[in-house]
Amino acid sequence: MKYIWAPWRMQYIKSEKPKGCILCDLPAEDKDKQNYILYRGVKNFIMLNSFPYNPGHLLVAPYRHTGNMDELTAAERNEHYELVSRCIKVLKEAMNPGGFNIGSNLGKIAGAGIEEHFHSHIVPRWNGDTNFIPVLADVRVVPQALADTYDALLGKF
Protein backbone atom coordinates (compact mmCIF):
# COMPACT_ATOMS: atom_id res chain seq x y z
CA MET A 1 0.00 0.00 0.00
CA LYS A 2 1.23 3.50 -0.83
CA TYR A 3 0.64 6.52 1.37
CA ILE A 4 0.22 10.11 0.28
CA TRP A 5 0.72 12.61 3.08
CA ALA A 6 -1.35 15.80 3.19
CA PRO A 7 -0.93 16.98 6.80
CA TRP A 8 -2.51 20.39 6.14
CA ARG A 9 -5.88 18.64 5.63
CA MET A 10 -6.12 17.74 9.34
CA GLN A 11 -6.68 21.39 10.23
CA TYR A 12 -9.74 21.41 7.95
CA ILE A 13 -10.99 18.03 9.15
CA LYS A 14 -10.89 19.09 12.82
CA SER A 15 -12.12 22.64 12.29
CA GLU A 16 -15.65 23.77 12.94
CA LYS A 17 -17.33 24.27 9.58
CA PRO A 18 -18.52 27.83 8.98
CA LYS A 19 -22.19 28.62 8.78
CA GLY A 20 -23.40 31.08 6.21
CA CYS A 21 -21.78 31.89 2.89
CA ILE A 22 -17.98 31.91 2.77
CA LEU A 23 -18.06 34.04 -0.39
CA CYS A 24 -19.86 36.72 1.65
CA ASP A 25 -18.21 36.18 5.02
CA LEU A 26 -14.52 35.92 4.06
CA PRO A 27 -14.28 39.20 2.13
CA ALA A 28 -16.10 40.95 5.00
CA GLU A 29 -13.21 40.01 7.32
CA ASP A 30 -9.93 41.90 7.40
CA LYS A 31 -7.89 38.70 6.96
CA ASP A 32 -7.02 38.56 3.26
CA LYS A 33 -3.85 36.47 3.69
CA GLN A 34 -5.54 33.96 6.01
CA ASN A 35 -8.55 33.76 3.66
CA TYR A 36 -6.35 33.64 0.52
CA ILE A 37 -7.96 36.73 -1.00
CA LEU A 38 -5.54 37.99 -3.63
CA TYR A 39 -7.37 40.99 -5.08
CA ARG A 40 -10.36 43.18 -4.27
CA GLY A 41 -12.13 44.93 -7.11
CA VAL A 42 -15.07 47.31 -6.84
CA LYS A 43 -17.77 44.65 -7.39
CA ASN A 44 -15.83 41.33 -7.30
CA PHE A 45 -12.80 39.74 -5.67
CA ILE A 46 -10.25 37.03 -6.49
CA MET A 47 -9.26 34.28 -4.06
CA LEU A 48 -7.53 30.92 -4.09
CA ASN A 49 -9.81 27.91 -3.98
CA SER A 50 -9.13 26.25 -0.61
CA PHE A 51 -9.76 22.82 -2.15
CA PRO A 52 -7.97 23.21 -5.49
CA TYR A 53 -7.91 20.89 -8.46
CA ASN A 54 -4.44 22.26 -9.23
CA PRO A 55 -2.05 24.85 -7.78
CA GLY A 56 -3.27 28.32 -8.73
CA HIS A 57 -6.96 27.32 -8.83
CA LEU A 58 -8.65 30.72 -8.45
CA LEU A 59 -12.20 31.86 -7.79
CA VAL A 60 -13.71 35.15 -8.93
CA ALA A 61 -16.89 36.11 -7.09
CA PRO A 62 -19.09 39.19 -6.74
CA TYR A 63 -19.37 40.69 -3.27
CA ARG A 64 -23.15 40.71 -3.64
CA HIS A 65 -24.84 37.45 -2.66
CA THR A 66 -26.69 35.93 -5.59
CA GLY A 67 -26.72 32.43 -6.98
CA ASN A 68 -28.04 33.56 -10.33
CA MET A 69 -25.65 34.79 -12.96
CA ASP A 70 -28.51 36.54 -14.72
CA GLU A 71 -29.08 38.73 -11.64
CA LEU A 72 -25.65 40.36 -11.90
CA THR A 73 -25.71 44.01 -12.88
CA ALA A 74 -23.81 45.03 -16.00
CA ALA A 75 -21.08 46.53 -13.79
CA GLU A 76 -20.77 43.32 -11.70
CA ARG A 77 -20.74 41.09 -14.79
CA ASN A 78 -18.24 43.24 -16.72
CA GLU A 79 -15.80 43.45 -13.81
CA HIS A 80 -16.28 39.74 -13.09
CA TYR A 81 -15.12 38.70 -16.55
CA GLU A 82 -12.39 41.35 -16.65
CA LEU A 83 -11.03 39.71 -13.48
CA VAL A 84 -11.32 36.22 -15.01
CA SER A 85 -9.24 37.52 -17.92
CA ARG A 86 -6.73 39.10 -15.52
CA CYS A 87 -6.45 35.77 -13.66
CA ILE A 88 -5.42 34.06 -16.89
CA LYS A 89 -2.77 36.73 -17.58
CA VAL A 90 -1.33 36.55 -14.05
CA LEU A 91 -1.30 32.75 -13.96
CA LYS A 92 0.44 32.60 -17.36
CA GLU A 93 3.16 34.94 -16.11
CA ALA A 94 3.54 33.44 -12.62
CA MET A 95 3.05 29.71 -13.23
CA ASN A 96 3.35 29.11 -16.99
CA PRO A 97 0.52 26.59 -17.40
CA GLY A 98 -0.13 24.92 -20.73
CA GLY A 99 -3.86 25.69 -20.63
CA PHE A 100 -6.87 26.50 -18.46
CA ASN A 101 -10.26 25.20 -17.46
CA ILE A 102 -12.61 28.15 -16.85
CA GLY A 103 -16.23 27.97 -15.83
CA SER A 104 -19.06 28.27 -13.38
CA ASN A 105 -21.22 25.52 -11.92
CA LEU A 106 -24.79 26.84 -11.82
CA GLY A 107 -26.89 24.75 -9.43
CA LYS A 108 -26.06 21.74 -7.28
CA ILE A 109 -26.93 19.28 -10.08
CA ALA A 110 -24.24 20.98 -12.21
CA GLY A 111 -21.64 20.47 -9.48
CA ALA A 112 -21.88 23.76 -7.58
CA GLY A 113 -20.36 23.41 -4.12
CA ILE A 114 -21.63 26.87 -3.20
CA GLU A 115 -24.75 27.12 -5.31
CA GLU A 116 -26.20 30.14 -3.51
CA HIS A 117 -23.33 32.49 -4.53
CA PHE A 118 -22.31 32.76 -8.18
CA HIS A 119 -18.57 32.44 -8.84
CA SER A 120 -16.19 31.39 -11.60
CA HIS A 121 -13.31 28.92 -11.44
CA ILE A 122 -10.00 29.45 -13.20
CA VAL A 123 -7.94 26.23 -13.11
CA PRO A 124 -4.46 26.24 -14.64
CA ARG A 125 -3.50 22.98 -16.36
CA TRP A 126 -0.16 21.40 -17.23
CA ASN A 127 0.71 18.48 -19.44
CA GLY A 128 0.67 15.41 -17.20
CA ASP A 129 -1.15 17.04 -14.27
CA THR A 130 -3.67 14.22 -14.41
CA ASN A 131 -2.27 10.74 -14.07
CA PHE A 132 -3.28 7.30 -12.88
CA ILE A 133 -3.75 8.23 -9.19
CA PRO A 134 -7.19 9.91 -9.52
CA VAL A 135 -8.40 7.10 -11.77
CA LEU A 136 -7.13 4.12 -9.76
CA ALA A 137 -7.02 5.41 -6.20
CA ASP A 138 -9.71 8.14 -6.19
CA VAL A 139 -7.05 10.51 -4.80
CA ARG A 140 -6.07 13.92 -6.09
CA VAL A 141 -2.50 15.08 -5.47
CA VAL A 142 -1.99 18.86 -5.39
CA PRO A 143 1.77 19.47 -5.45
CA GLN A 144 1.87 22.92 -3.87
CA ALA A 145 0.61 24.23 -0.51
CA LEU A 146 -1.99 27.01 -0.62
CA ALA A 147 0.21 29.41 1.34
CA ASP A 148 3.02 28.97 -1.19
CA THR A 149 0.64 29.56 -4.12
CA TYR A 150 -0.77 32.63 -2.35
CA ASP A 151 2.73 34.07 -1.84
CA ALA A 152 3.60 33.41 -5.48
CA LEU A 153 0.51 35.27 -6.76
CA LEU A 154 0.14 38.03 -4.16
CA GLY A 155 0.66 41.49 -5.60
CA LYS A 156 0.45 40.38 -9.22
CA PHE A 157 -3.14 41.57 -9.70
Cα–Cα distances in angstroms (integers) from residue 101 to residues 49, 54, 119, in the given order: 14, 10, 14
The 10 Å Cβ neighbour count of residue 99 is 11
Are the C-beta atoms of residues 124 and 151 closer than 8 Å to each other? no
Gyration radius of the chain over CA positions? 16
Single out the residue of 89, 115, 111 nearest to residue 100, CA to CA.
Answer: 89
| Contact (CB, 8 A) for 51 and 142 | no
Return the DSSP state at 69: G
Residues with a known catalytic role: 119
Task: Find all residues with CB under 8 Å of 12, minimum gap 6, and list them.
Answer: 50
